Amino acid sequence: MNPAKTVGILGGGQLGRMLTHPAALLGIPLIILDSGSYTPAKQTLLPPQNTSHLDGPFTSESHIRELAKQCDLLTVEIEHVNADVLEQVEREGLCEVQPSPGTIRLIQDKYLQKKHLAAKGVPVAPFEALPADPTEEDVRNVVQRLGTPVMLKARTLAYDGRGNSPLKEVESTSIKASLEFLGDRPLYAEAWAPFVKEVAVMVVRNKEGEVRSYDAVETMHRDSILRVCLAPLRAGGMEGVNLRARALAEKAVSTLEGAGIFGVEMFLMADGTLLLNEIAPRPHNSGHHTIEACHTSQFENHLRAILSLPLGSTSLRVPSAAMINILGSSSSMDPVLKTAEAAMSVPGANVHLYGKTESRKARKMGHITLTALTDAELFTHLRTLLLAQPDASV
Ligand code: ATP
Ligand code: MG
Ligand code: MG
């Protein structure tokens, strides 16, 4: 192993926090850039390491340049960073950046991402750009071509479905409400994908181009936000969905540049075909179970990939696993802590709390990973966990 290189992470949320755990095991120094001195990722590094974190926005040129000065390599735990500055930093030879800033920029704009994937032959739902400040008429025109329902989406700064507005009928009031909800961000429209399941695959790639995918998982969303994830994917009656999903995810990632972990979201249609929804150029919520359920977690494999260390096995080490997000239900931390405490009595459950001090409705506050030797055991324990939710927080 080469002497430890210092890795700078843009973003200090829960994904950064979960990168700090394998970094500590492998002795990899990390410096986190985010606003605030006590973000989820900054909490887990003990002094003197945590005193060197940078307090500032991950979109700020001066802060990114300062981070680059102190590190051998920069990476991201969120895609909404300043990709232009990352590109300059790399071009000037100040610091290596993984994955490539060009990939991060492409993914930031969900419309350009879709265009890129479609051009590379990756199947996606029909989609169309909307003009700036779209009128009701613009929406009606797009709906005429894409049909109803239609999903109106913000092209940029989208996460946890907060940039999505499903339009079920083409009525003035609904269109106005959707446009108002989405605000003044650039928008595009996507034909509704009447999927039977949502599927996700984590893919890791190193600088030499070696690619390894994890087993596909089933992701269950409500109101566009991930609630539960089941690993591996059970696609009863549909032959080979896992292998096809892995192959599609690997193909999609191979069209992008740079090393690291990628989260690939897909829709499984009734006829067994798969449509790609979107790619995240970073660790992803649908790969959290890999910490307890796989030989090498998505977080450790990300660090290995960007540091040119041998990639670890992506195989499951248990037959059956699930991940349940703990979402905030109000400003009170009580339901979150109650859910976490209840899970501690369930065999095979591992509780992760992200150290966020403020709860908000639908905010990701933590998650629970459940592992089991059989599906029957998994579903019994899953039921116990879901029933223990103090309100509809899952
Ligand atoms: P993330 O937190 O995964 O980054 P996001 O805000 O980027 O989410 P999407 O992944 O585009 O949003 O959509 C969130 C969810 O909304 C999807 O997982 C799916 O459940 C639903 N959804 C999105 N697009 C469509 C579509 N075209 N048809 C039907 N449902 C959709
Ligand atoms: Mg997204
Ligand atoms: Mg998504």
- Collect all residues with Cβ–Cβ distance below 8 Å to 242 and sequence separation of at least 6: 215, 216, 232, 233, 235
pLDDT digits (tens, 9 = 90+) for 75-115: 999 999 999 999 999 999 999 999 999 999 999 999 999 99
- Collect all residues with Cβ–Cβ distance below 8 Å to 111 and sequence separation of at least 6: 127, 129, 153, 155, 186, 188
Ligand 1 atom nearest residue 190's Cα = 27
**Which residue has better confidence, 238 or 301?**
301
φ, ψ at 260 (rounded to 5°): 135, -170
Please, which pLDDT band fits residue 392 given cuts at 50, 70 and 90?
Answer: very low
pLDDT value, residue 47? 57
Measured in angstroms, how far is the CA atom of residue 347 from the centroid of ligand 3?
30
Ligand 1 atom 27 nearest Cα: 192
Q: Is the CB of 152 under 6 A from ligand 1?
A: no
Compute the average pLDDT of residues 58-66: 98
Residue that has been written with the tokens 């920069």 in this structure? 74
Q: What angle do CA 137, 138, 141 make, to 5 degrees?
A: 85
pLDDT digits (tens, 9 = 90+) for 209-255: 999 999 999 999 998 899 999 999 998 888 899 999 999 999 999 99
Burial string for 206-240 (b: 16+ CB within 10 Å, else e) reads beeeebbbbbbbbbeeeebbbbbbbbbbebeebee
CA 28: distance to chain centroid? 23
**pLDDT for 46 beyond 70:** no
Q: Which residues pair with 32 in a beta bridge?
A: 9
Residue that has been written with the tokens 């089941």 in this structure? 230
Handedness of CA 364, 129, 264, 205 (dihedral sign): negative
Query: Considering only CA atoms, which of 5, 2, 15, 19 is closest in space to residue 73?
Result: 5
Q: Residue 377: what residue type?
A: E
Ligand 1 atom 7 nearest Cα: 159
Q: Which residues pair with 151 in a beta bridge?
A: 166, 190
φ, ψ at 328 (rounded to 5°): -65, 145
Q: Which residues pair with 55 in a beta bridge?
A: 34
φ, ψ at 134 (rounded to 5°): -65, 145
How far is residue 281's CA from residue 45's CA, in Å, rounded to a whole number? 24
**Is the distance from CB of 312 to CB of 221 less than 8 angstroms?**
no
Q: Is the CB of 227 under 6 A from ligand 1?
A: no
Handedness of CA 279, 282, 283, 284 (dihedral sign): negative
**Which residue has better confidence, 38 or 237?**
38
Concatenated DSSP letters for 42-53?
A: HHTSPTTGGGG-
Ligand 1 atom nearest residue 163's Cα = 6
Residue that has been written with the tokens 């592992």 in this structure? 371
Q: Residue 309: what residue type?
A: L
Q: Is the CB of 278 under 6 A from ligand 1?
A: yes
pLDDT value, residue 321? 98
CA dihedral angle for residue 65, residue 66, residue 70, residue 73, rounded to 10 degrees: -30
pLDDT value, residue 224? 84
Instruction: Tell me which ligand sits closest to the C-alpha of residue 224.
Output: 1
**Is the distance from CB of 199 to CB of 192 less than 8 angstroms?**
no
Record the pTM. Answer: 0.96
pLDDT digits (tens, 9 = 90+) for 164-214: 999 998 899 999 999 999 999 999 999 999 999 999 999 999 999 999 999
Whether the bond into 310 is cis, omega within 30 of 0:
no
Compute the average pLDDT of residues 346-372: 96
**Is the distance from CB of 43 to CB of 355 less than 8 angstroms?**
yes
Query: Considering only CA atoms, which of 369, 287, 285 is closest in space to residue 322?
Result: 369
Instruction: Tell me which ligand sits closest to the C-alpha of residue 198.
Output: 1
**Is the distance from CB of 231 to CB of 321 less than 8 angstroms?**
yes
Q: What distances in angstroms separate CA 164 from CA 114, 157, 182, 191, 324, one per listed residue? A: 15, 11, 7, 13, 22
pLDDT value, residue 45? 73
> Residues of the chain with pLDDT > 70: what percent?
97
Query: Considering only CA atoms, which of 326, 320, 324 is closest in space to residue 371?
Result: 320
Ligand 1, pocket-test mutation among 168, 185, 277, most atoms within 8 A of CB: 277
Measured in angstroms, how far is the CA atom of residue 26 from the centroid of ligand 3?
30
pLDDT digits (tens, 9 = 90+) for 63-73: 999 999 999 99
